[in-house]
Structure 1
Amino acid sequence: MILSHQHCHQLFSFGLKNLALYDSSPTVAKFIGSPPGYVGHEEGGQLTKKLKACPNAVVLFDEVDKAHPDVLTIMLQLFDEGRLTDGKGKTIECKDAIFIMTSNVASDDIAQHALQLRQEAQELSRRKMADNLDEVQKSDDVTISKQFKDVVIRPILKAHFRRDEFLGRINEIVYFLPFCPSELQQLVSKELNFWAKKAKQRHEITLLWDRPVLDLLAGGYNLHYGARSIKHEVERRVVNQLAAAYEQELLPKGCTLRLSVHSEDRGGGQEGEGLGQGTPSLRLEVVGKDSKARMLDIRPPLSPGH
């Protein structure tokens, strides 16, 4: 949520979850400083001190939905008048600052709506391709309509914050949609490249993979955990295997490792038979000088929790 647009020099971040106290006095004191006669009066507030030092900063209020109502009251003056009065009675001008707030309010509704839009766009693209029509729409390119924002999202925000004047001071609301397939592949590639670089630097090991590996790991995406779920999936299915293979002394120094996807046929058939019926699994193979791959026989950990 962006409230002004000027050049800035510095970024400040405030986790408002920590300020969501039952007693409003300590909450406000952390923000603008304690009034005269109270402990910490000379120290000043977390926000006012930083804005005084840098009035054209970018200020991030993280998880604003968890802030105490009295903090929102302070924000009303801040956003409306572009200034803030601290606990010492001094006025801090910050009209050139940019204030951004993050919130997970209505995130599930937004995510489900975006997924539905992508499914509809994908189906429309299939029909156009079948009919040889032009202007095939990419299923990744979806936009939330103004009607959905007004009819669905706005009432949820009003019910949570209970202040129309607070929402009215927000210049723009930016909606973050779930990652699309191409973005998930980029995230997986980024994580794999990160660990491949470490393997090369620390053990002179070259790590290779192909497109099916990206698709398989992207399947671990969880809407609620976002990019973290991809990070955890790569660590669970790739990094843990690498660590186990190294501990079991299965990795020759300077070797080349290849990640590959194999389909395990539950019916007992050979690999590759019954396409689509097997369960895909990730395998780690050593590529020899003759370009032949040998699958590593990695023993499972003693504890299922590792």
Structure 2
Amino acid sequence: EAVRRKPYSVVLFDEIEKAHPDVFNVLLQVLDDGRITDSQGRMVDFKNTIIVLTSNIGAQTLLEGIDDKANITDEASEAVMSQLRASFRPEFLNRLDEIIMFKPLTKDNISNIVDLVMENLNKRLEDREISVRLTDEAKDYIIDNGYDPVYGARPLKRYIQKSVETLSAKLILSGNIEAKDVIEIRLSGDGLEAVKG
């Protein structure tokens, strides 16, 4: 329905390997003909729609197949392609315009993601005139403990929510934080703590 109303769209199928076989049958028709017929018999045109499929197939192989210049080795690329061929039917793979393999995130990438998540948290706290700041040690601790190379940045965001946001919320609810205050998240023993900065 969304594509019928807005034909210039991007449609994302995340972790396509988990999709029901019927989804692949529909996708085959869309990728082959550029259109499908919906349940009411209306033709839906996909010719101006970009379809993006993501998959975790071969993720471990890619992690292990990085050379000393942080590039994916040819052997790793071939191994991932073999895994894709074993997981998807050839007629499906042949209809894809391109298969793009992403390199694992670097520590700098992860650090930038932490900065973005913290920026978002501080925007949410703007109306209370409170901000949260990480010490360098706390940020390194979050990067080391919150990032999982196999699953990407999603666990990192959850880790920040469970640790930084929870610690900050507890400090705010304690009544010790007022407008214009800064909450500092710092390393303490074997974990993080929130203190009035």
TM-score clears 0.5: yes
Matched residue of 1:245: which SS?
helix
Question: After superposition, where does 1:9-158 map in structure 2 within 5 Å?
Answer: 49-86=1-38, 91-114=43-66, 117=67, 120-121=68-69, 142-150=70-78, 152-158=79-85
Q: Which has the higher helix share?
A: 2
Aligned partner of 1:214 among 118, 132, 139: 139
Letter in 1 for 2:63: A
Structure 1 residue 181: Cα displacement: 0.5
Structure showing greater relative contact order (alpha-carbon pairs closer than 8 Å, 6 or more residues apart) = 2
Question: After superposition, where does 1:180-219 map in structure 2 within 5 Å?
Answer: 180-202=106-128, 204-219=129-144
Letter in 1 for 2:58: A
**Can you list the C-alpha shifts for 1:185-239, whole angstroms capped at 9, x where unaligned?**
111112222333344422x334333433321211121234432222222233322
Distance 1:178 1:253, change over 3 A: same
Distance 1:244 1:69, change over 3 A: closer
Structure 1 residue 184: Cα displacement: 1.0
Matched residue of 1:258: which SS?
strand
Q: Provide the residue aligned with 1:297 in structure 2.
A: none
User: 2:86 & 2:11 partners in 1: Cα distance?
Assistant: 25
Q: Provide the residue aligned with 1:165 in structure 2.
A: 91
Structure 1 residue 179: Cα displacement: 2.0
User: 1:55 & 1:248 partners in 2: Cα distance?
Assistant: 51
Structure 1 residue 168: Cα displacement: 1.1
Matched residue of 1:84: which SS?
strand
Distance 1:90 1:180, change over 3 A: same
**Can you list the C-alpha shifts for 1:90-145, whole angstroms capped at 9, x where unaligned?**
6544333322212222222223334xx3xx34xxxxxxxxxxxxxxxxxxxx3324
Letter in 1 for 2:166: N
Question: 8 Å contact 2:132–2:168 — kept in the other structure?
Answer: no
Letter in 1 for 2:71: T
User: 1:213 & 1:243 partners in 2: Cα distance?
Assistant: 17
User: 1:206 & 1:68 partners in 2: Cα distance?
Assistant: 45
Q: Provide the residue aligned with 1:232 in structure 2.
A: 158
Structure 1 residue 51: Cα displacement: 4.0
Question: 5+ unaligned residues in a row in structure 2: which ranges?
Answer: none
Question: 5+ unaligned residues in a row in structure 1: which ranges?
Answer: 1-48, 122-141, 265-278, 288-306
Distance 1:164 1:218, change over 3 A: same
Matched residue of 2:120: which SS?
helix
Matched residue of 1:60: which SS?
strand
User: 2:38 & 2:124 partners in 1: Cα distance?
Assistant: 48
Aligned partner of 1:249 among 175, 181, 185: 175
The percentage of counterpart residues that share the same residue type is 28
| Aligned length, in residue pairs | 196
Question: 8 Å contact 1:208–1:256 — kept in the other structure?
Answer: yes
> What TM-score results when the alignment is normalised by the length of structure 1?
0.54
Letter in 2 for 1:66: K
Distance 1:253 1:106, change over 3 A: same
> What TM-score results when the alignment is normalised by the length of structure 2?
0.79
**Can you list the C-alpha shifts for 1:35-88, whole angstroms capped at 9, x where unaligned?**
xxxxxxxxxxxxxx4444444432223332223334323332322232334556
